Chain A
Amino acid sequence: MEPHGGEHKPHVPPPSLWPVGFAVGIVVLLLGLIVGWGIVVLGAVLAVGFGFLWIRDLAAGVDTSVPDIEPERREVGTPQAAPIPANVGEAGMPLPDGDEEERFPRSRFLEGATLGFGGVIGGMITLPVLGFTVLPAFVGQEKELVDVGALDDFPEGQWIITTFLQDPDVGEVSRRTAYVRHNGMLGDVPSVTIVSSRCAHLGCPVQPNGPVDDEATETQNTDQGEVTRIPTQPSGFGCPCHGGQYDTEGNRTAGPPVRALDRYEYRIRNDRLLLGDTYSVGGVDGEGKDAKISKYRLATPGVHIDGIEQILYPIPVPK
């Protein structure tokens, strides 16, 4: 490296061999850990010795004096040196022929190629990630039928608080509560009212307004997890969160809910009661087995399913 006329010194100290000695010392020390303690001491001495010399070298070699450099002064707006045209100088490109003057510039092509390829690569990475983020929440949400007991476990006219696992694979977190009442026979098929405990306001669990007979709790272990049945005598259902009130058919009587309580579809197979999908209810006319239920596809709590407000929710979430 040539000195620049004595004005500048090199920015960094000249290369020194001490770091090499230091490194050798460390290597010897590490080898010593395998071979024996004497070698460790030798390596440590080498490393400390060369390390000291290295640091002393650094301390001596640093020049902290401020070089006396004339500050650069340029008026704002001083024109820069004109750029050299591409066709000037030794490596200048030949001028295009007269016809070709409007050639597509190479830099424009490179800009476009960079942006284009960048976009393609970015899309190839982003799209699958986006799909992976969003789609799993919307596909494969089908429910299986859940066996909550024999029909005989539900005496006619008696409300039973029934809890069960919606999905045994997921576990306790999928425990749901339904209020079940056997209404007797409608013609030659049994009629059952099954009201979901999910409040139609914002989804808190509604509670029965009335005595709950905890003493008479029945617990049953099925291959779909534990099912419990507790008799109760409700005069209606109430939500602890924001005070929504419902009658025993699930119609709203007071408070903020926008519709009636959701209900479960059900099947009866071999005299067992099986709970299926939930559906939303606009309102219920009548009682028990004579009830006329306005049934809608399941909606999020707080979402209007009938009346003028339903136009706010035109796109149902696909199942």
Chain B
Amino acid sequence: MAARTQGRRAQLQQAALYPVDWLEERSGLVGGLKYFLFRKVPGDINWMQTLGSATLTAFLVQAITGVVLAMYYQPHPDEAYASIQQITNDVTLGWLVRGMHRWGASVFIILMFLHMARVFLFGAYKYPRELNWIIGVLLLAMGLGEGFTGYLLPWDQTAYWATVVGININGTAPFLGPFIAQFLQGGAEIGEDTLSRFYSLHMLVLPGAIGGLIALHLYLVIRLGVSSPPWSPEAAGREREPEPSTNGGRAGLTRPGARGGGK
């Protein structure tokens, strides 16, 4: 009887896992995900090293709330302000989604800076991770660009004049500044083209670029591994116990040898 129950259970389990196995056999995605989630990290890392994941979470919150807001927002000078009022006051839970997007924007920027400070103070930007620092700086610039373009969209007095000032600051750049300003405002003066242009940049161009760069950023994190804190006995530049050379003798690099993370 017990054996039969067990057999039933195993059969159920198999049925439940069947889609997972199906996917794994055809794509290797399940193994890849396991490799990503269960990869080895230095033993003495701490909470500071979670700031990158926190930043990623903040970006995902912005992306999801932004998609929802885009369902109600009207990027036209005559309707933009009214549609924001409608989102805030009329749409069910609209105030919450807009609030998450508005405050989440600041959280995203703050977390980016904290993450950057952690990497800088831990020396985690050094060889071989310089490229990831560069990608991170690009991400920071695009994140600030998101802030700049998103600030115009409520289309109130603050938004309008802050954008006027922001565009004209771009205009004072030597040589090509006036061209950049005119490109940003979509004409000789700020107007309806500026709003739709900023909307497109804010919800299509910049998030797409940020998504791609995040993928590169994460790829390099996985490839190069997480660095130890500076106080770690395993930090680069100090003596460490010799180890069978599975990582090509590159001290400080934690690099799983085989797929599935291990050995």
Contacts and interface: CB of A to CB of B under 8 A. Distances in A.
B164 interface: yes
A62 B21 contact: yes
Contacts of A55: 15
Interface stretch (B28-36, B144-152, B177-185, B221-229): B177-185
B15 A62 contact: yes
Contacts of A60: 11
B239 interface: no
A255 B177 CA distance: 22
B81 to A, nearest CB: 11
B191 interface: yes
A167 to B, nearest CB: 8
B178 to A, nearest CB: 5
Given A204-B164, A313-B175, A313-B178, A302 B15 contact: no
A204 B78 CA distance: 21
Interface residues of A, number: 37
Interface in B187-221: 187-193
Contacts, number: 101
Contacts of B174: 312-313
A203 B162 CA distance: 10
A300 B179 CA distance: 9
Interface in B12-32: 12-15, 17-18, 21, 25
B171 A174 contact: no
B178 A166 contact: no
Contacts of A96: none
B15 A300 contact: no
A315 B176 CA distance: 8
Nearest to A309: B174
Given A202-B168, A303-B172, A137 B15 contact: no
Q: Which of A138, A172, A202, A241 has the most CB of B within 10 A?
A: A202
Contact of B77 (A172, A299, A303): A172
B192 A300 contact: no
Contacts of B182: 137-138, 300, 317
B20 to A, nearest CB: 11
A137 B178 contact: no
A302 B173 CA distance: 9
Contact of B15 (A11, A59, A166, A204): A59
Contacts of A143: 188
Contacts of B187: 136-137, 141
B180 to A, nearest CB: 9
B191 A173 contact: yes
A221 to B, nearest CB: 19
Nearest to B180: A300
A299 B183 CA distance: 14
Given A137-B183, A141-B188, A62 B168 contact: no
A77 interface: no
B185 A137 contact: yes
Contact of B179 (A173, A204, A301, A317): A317
Interface secondary structure of A, over-half rule: loop
Contact of A166 (B165, B167, B189, B193): B189
Which interface class (under 10, 10 to 19, 20 to 34, 35 or more) fits B?
35 or more
Contact of A241 (B161, B177, B188): B161
A196 to B, nearest CB: 11
A307 B186 CA distance: 29
B175 A314 contact: yes
Contacts of B175: 312-315
A170 B191 contact: yes
Contact of A59 (B11, B21, B172): B11
A171 interface: yes
Given A62-B15, A300-B168, A204 B178 contact: no
Interface in A239-276: 241
A17 interface: no
Contacts of A317: 178-179, 182
A115 interface: no
B25 A202 contact: no
B245 to A, nearest CB: 11
B140 to A, nearest CB: 24
A241 B178 contact: no
B169 interface: yes
Contact of A300 (B77, B165, B181): B181
Contacts of B169: 202, 302
A55 B172 CA distance: 68
B191 A174 contact: yes
Given A60-B11, A203-B164, A300 B178 contact: yes
A311 to B, nearest CB: 9
Interface of B: 10-15, 17-18, 21, 25, 77-78, 161, 164-165, 167-169, 171-172, 174-179, 181-183, 185-193
Given A138-B179, A202-B169, 5 more contacts: A64-B14, A143-B188, A167-B191, A300-B177, A300-B178
7 contacts: A60-B11, A64-B17, A137-B182, A138-B183, A202-B168, A314-B175, A317-B182
